[in-house]
Structure 1
Amino acid sequence: MKKQLWMIFGPIFCAIVAIAILFLSPFFTRTQNDTVWKEASSSMAANVLRGNSIKNAAIGSGEYIPFFGSSELSRIDSFHPSALAKAYDRGYTPFLLGAPGTQSLTQFMMIQSMKDELKGKPVVFIISPQWFVRDGMKDDYFNAYFSELQAYEWALSLTNVTPSDRYVATRLLSYAKVQKNQAFMNSLAQIEQGKLPSGFSRTRLALETRILSREDQLFSRFGLLSKQKKIDQAAQKLPKTYDYHELEKLATKQGQKSTSNNTFEIDNQFYQQRVKKNLKRLKGSQKGYNYLSSPEYGDFQLVLNQLAEIQAKPLFIIPPVNEKWQAYTGLSPKMLNGFSKKINYQLKEQGFEHVVDFTQEARIPYFMADTIHLGWRGWLESDRYIEPFLTNPQQEATYHLSDEFYSNDWQKLKPERLPDPTKKQ
């Protein structure tokens, strides 16, 4: 009888034990390699963004530079940073850390998850004005990119609770996906009160972290859907020798050819699929848009705080909005200028001096690929700042962070109340 039971349940028992050993064992055999890193660097796959094993190893190798952003990173043409770096042997390869829907809270989680690998290194960070809407990051975007692994490791790594940590806890607790996880909710509630996670909640988080980490190590390299082939093809269309004026002519030519079916200088395919059928409805549709009051300003402060803590050397790029599209939809230029003033103040007041603000470049033909994403001439102009920043040594910055930028007062502050920088003593 015992033998029969063993024959039935023995294999199941052995399988459970094997899985437990696989996921709970502290030992890890590295399976990542240069090929995986290269594929992952342009994939913008959710499993790479939410995981640690691939992106951390690649950035730690020193061969890749992190480019943080959102959907603009996914639009590949000959002037995309990855194509230019490939064509002209820049000595660095962009690792694209963003996708449609990623915003400051996601970027903060990624940055803190690889703070050892990023310490003292240069990064490029693209700030999208449209992140800064009234309610901040939408639930759908949060759900798509929220990483339990990165969040648990952050909570377990705390040795004391700072105002920044309490703000993270408060923000995470506001999302329904987190509210479904009682153990993590308990830990976040403790952090929000200024206490370190303790008791059963901490023990459970530690166990789940080990399982998630092993899952990341084993499976994150699958389904990367690399854009490397597209990048290689785009790079091959560039002249062999870098000449800015020749490249600007080529960017204009490509822009003209790619936006021939509309008067807004929007990429033909984007216009045909996303705009044309809704054109009448979209007229005047953005008159009430406001990027001046948003919890995103506090979320962005998390990014700044983490970059300063690890003494990273960031270059920030602020894209404009297609001027023709602004006029058609009624998006306020005054509001966009106010956003520019407010975000520049938050950056420069705290010692982040490397800021490229293209807000006033909205009228340049083919600067944008569509309504809000950098295009042919926009990427080329960005490269005039990116290339020297990444290829020349940057001095260590002196940052002076202020917790006031987490406050509701700052999130809602009207830019006209900011001091005039020309009168600063």
Structure 2
Amino acid sequence: MLKRLWRIFGPVICALILVVVVIYCYPQGRKHDYQTDKRNAVTLTTANFKSRINKTNALSNKEHRFVPFFGSSEWLRFDALHPAVLAEKYDRNYRPYFIGQRGAASLNQYLGMQQMLPELKNGTAVYVLSPQWFTKKGYNSAAFQQFFSNDQLSSFLNQNETDENSEYAAKRILEMKPEIAMKSQLTKVAKGQELNAFDKTYVQFLAELNKREDALFSPFAAPNNANYDKKVLPYLKELPDEFSYEALDQVAVRDAEEHTKSNSFGIDDRFYKKRLSKKIGKLKGFQEHLSYEVSQEYGDLQLVLNQFAKLKTNVIFVIPPVNSKWMAYTGLNQEMYDATVLKIRYQLESQGFTNIADFSKDGDQAYFMQDTIHMGWKGWVAFDKAVDPFVSNPTPAPSYNLNDRFYSKDWANYTANPNEFK
């Protein structure tokens, strides 16, 4: 009987053991290649978002400084004033490494950070914080799962002690993905229980396996796309050789005038034609009852803040506006938007995160927005004025004063004056 079972399952077991051995024996590191790293830095794909090796390789490059720019879909809005283009044209002392995807928010960003903690420690970061993330229904589980990987999970379990932060994170992961690998260990953390010796050994083994698997397969799963060659290099010739913000403003106005002829919203013609023109009538007033003041996203943001604080990362937060003409057309309430920004800023500033570029009231400026909610043209120029000095001249992180009350439902549901929250 045993021989029979071995004939059936033996080859499968041997194959699995061989795969594990090959993965475990595969070297994790790669030689630094500046051109490859620059291409990875603008490879805005889901696979690259989830991959560890591409991010850690670039961010650990000692000869060339890459700085993580966290966000979502704004990084996909390439034009001549995009941060990647400006950094390349004027050969700055850093290159942005863009970490963001449409639909990615703070919970995904927090888990992605687990893959690169040493690279973030005592470093500099840029974090675009969109109020549109803070919806009442909370983060979409399908979007979360799209950007989630087992490598993130095993890294999280392997590197975190059981505390308020890890408990909250574990609960949120289980909410987003109830059927998940390492569910037993994750459930213990969610309940505030310490992992036993077996759990820790198992998690450590999987963490190492996942890390090496990523190093082995990422060149195939997350190859460079053509963004650098097609969406960065061609724009270089459109910029003046001598840097000045006055000249960049002129480029922004020229490009925006050329690309916003089809509509009265100041929206890029291609975006308007592809995404809005056929349904524009149905969109009038559709955001009248939308609010961002009550959301579980405030707790997810607190995870990110705790991680930055633990790593002593000096970070600048960027709060973008909404196209004011679009806001008026769709009925989005400006007072609600302002209240949301006030709540976000209180959560940041009360804990020592005082580097904030707040553009939330600039949505009425001509050519500031490329579409409905994303900056472009003159918006990118304003972004650069705030972000480039911060990134070009890195300083140690300030003293942070973390408050776990921001994980509470009381704060998630709070709509009064933030300064009165107790």
Runs of 4+ in 1 over 6 A off after TM superposition: 9-14
TM-score (norm 2): 0.92
Aligned to 1:4: none
1:232 positional shift? 1.1
SS at match of 2:182: helix
1:126 positional shift? 0.5
* CA pair 29-275 structure 1, distance change in 2 beyond 3 A: closer
CA distance in 1, matches of 2:29, 2:341: 47
Identity %: 36
CA distance in 1, matches of 2:297, 2:29: 39
Question: Do the aligned partners of 1:36 and 1:221 also contact (CA within 8 Å) in 2?
Answer: no
SS at match of 2:315: strand
CA distance in 1, matches of 2:247, 2:279: 37
Matched, 1:45 2:37: no
Aligned to 1:64: 66
1:393 positional shift? 3.3
Aligned to 1:34: 34
1:113 positional shift? 2.2
Q: Deviations over 1:320-351 (max 9, x none)?
A: 00000000000000011001100110110000
Aligned to 1:87: 89
Amino acid at match of 1:38: K
Aligned to 2:3: none
CA distance in 1, matches of 2:132, 2:75: 15
CA distance in 2, matches of 1:362, 1:351: 27
Q: Deviations over 1:119-141 (max 9, x none)?
A: 11111110111100012220121
CA distance in 2, matches of 1:235, 1:144: 33
* CA pair 363-47 structure 1, distance change in 2 beyond 3 A: same
Amino acid at match of 1:198: N
Aligned to 1:378: 379
CA distance in 2, matches of 1:334, 1:173: 34
Question: Do the aligned partners of 1:129 and 1:318 also contact (CA within 8 Å) in 2?
Answer: yes
TM-score (norm 1): 0.91
CA distance in 1, matches of 2:155, 2:71: 23
Aligned to 1:105: 107
Aligned to 1:412: 413
Q: Deviations over 1:251-270 (max 9, x none)?
A: 01111111110001111011
Q: Which ranges in structure 2 are unaligned for 5 or more consecutive residues? A: 1-8
Question: Do the aligned partners of 2:168 and 2:190 also contact (CA within 8 Å) in 1?
Answer: yes
Q: Deviations over 1:190-227 (max 9, x none)?
A: 11221223366555444433332222101212333141
* CA pair 11-292 structure 1, distance change in 2 beyond 3 A: closer
Amino acid at match of 1:217: A
Q: In structure 1, which of residues 178, 185, 190 is the aligned counterpart of residue 188 of structure 2? A: 190
CA distance in 2, matches of 1:66, 1:107: 11
CA distance in 2, matches of 1:345, 1:31: 43
Q: In structure 2, which of residues 122, 128, 136 is the aligned counterpart of residue 126 of structure 1? A: 128
Q: 5 Å matches for 1:167-246? A: 167-175=168-176, 177=177, 179-181=178-180, 183-198=181-196, 202-222=200-220, 223-229=223-229, 230-246=231-247
Question: Do the aligned partners of 1:51 and 1:150 also contact (CA within 8 Å) in 2?
Answer: no
Aligned to 1:330: 331
Aligned to 1:3: none
CA distance in 2, matches of 1:15, 1:364: 62
- Count of aligned positions: 411
CA distance in 1, matches of 2:75, 2:208: 31
Amino acid at match of 2:184: N
Amino acid at match of 2:131: P
Amino acid at match of 2:39: E
* CA pair 259-207 structure 1, distance change in 2 beyond 3 A: same
Aligned to 1:301: 302
1:27 positional shift? 4.8
Aligned to 1:354: 355
